[in-house]
Amino acid sequence: MGKVLVTGGAGFIGSHIAEVLLEHGYEVAVIDNFSTGSRHHIAHLPIEVYPCDITDPRVIDLIVSIHPDYIVHQAAQVSVPGSIRDILFDEEVNVKGSLHVIKAAVRVSARKVLFASSAAVYGNPAELPITPFHPARPESPYGLSKWTVEQYFKMAGKFYGLPYGILRYSNVYGPRQDANGEGGVVAIFADRITRKIPPVIYGDGEQTRDFIYVRDVAEANARALAVRGNFCVNISSGKSVSIQELLGMMQKAAGTGLEVSFAEAREGDIRHSLLSNDGAKNLLGWEPAVGLPEGIRKTMDDARGNLLLQPS
């Protein structure tokens, strides 16, 4: 099968990808600077782990020494508000760091590099559901940095013959997501509900999102490694739900009815997002296996377990 290097492999999504790749028979190595990722996420896995930051130019030689057959590039600055607060840090990690990975991939003649992109590249959509052919109109530095790296991958394919796949994720959720560092709304709600702290909705709560369970994302990556040619697909559930509806489902799953407060909408937030996953279904032979109610139950169970493990 070959060796796969997962950048950011100790993180929320990356650690699930590492697990699924092992199940598919790949040898796995991980690079992570552990700024948001956790050794606990991957401690049980038979993998090689290399502490390193992708913004450090020495990561290029490190990747060459690992000599992976494939690279799944997950390491990133993932916060939209964070990208607005510190536009240079967002660029440093997401653009410069990705260029280090691309350069190393060219040097080792990688058979495929998968890039974790985002629905944020689309901005406020002109039509729903959004297909990969929808114009890119990012509304945040984060979306812009992801779009920029996509273009660098296309250039690397053109000038250096680097085989790549771009996977544009919708809103990924599930166990191991950090309610603080990676800031997904499901993780934030789960954390507050388990701590019996009233949840906060930014805006009116009528904004909609397409939520995809993390294990489904990991499976999509594993299947994408075997696809020939360069491609760009959406990895999504193909279904949308409002933030108010989401919170209601989570409160019901937890058997709670905490009072909800509302705050001003955040800069850079998109009003409605729904991604078509037809391309991924056809090209990868993949489709989501975990629906939102089941995924929420698994996420709430994980959040409760984490609360019990914390010192009182």
For residue 82 the two structure tokens come to 């964070």
Q: Which is catalytic among the residues 26, 70, 122, 142? A: 142
For residue 237 the two structure tokens come to 């559930």
Q: Which amino acid is at 14?
A: G
For residues 131 and 276, what is the distance between their CA atoms, to the nearest angstrom? 5
Beta pairing partners, 130: 275
For residue 233 the two structure tokens come to 């697909």
Closest C-alpha to 190, from 119, 235, 242, 256 = 256
User: How many angstroms separate the Cα of 11 from the Cα of each of 7, 86, 107, 245, 246?
Assistant: 9, 21, 26, 28, 24
For residues 171 and 241, what is the distance between their CA atoms, to the nearest angstrom? 11
Instruction: Assign 3-state DSSP to the chain and report helix, strand, coil percentages, each to 5.
Output: 45, 20, 40
Beta pairing partners, 213: 173
Per the annotation, the verdict on 213 as an active-site residue is: no
Distance of CA 33 to the CA centre of its chain: 17
**Catalytic (active-site) positions:** 142
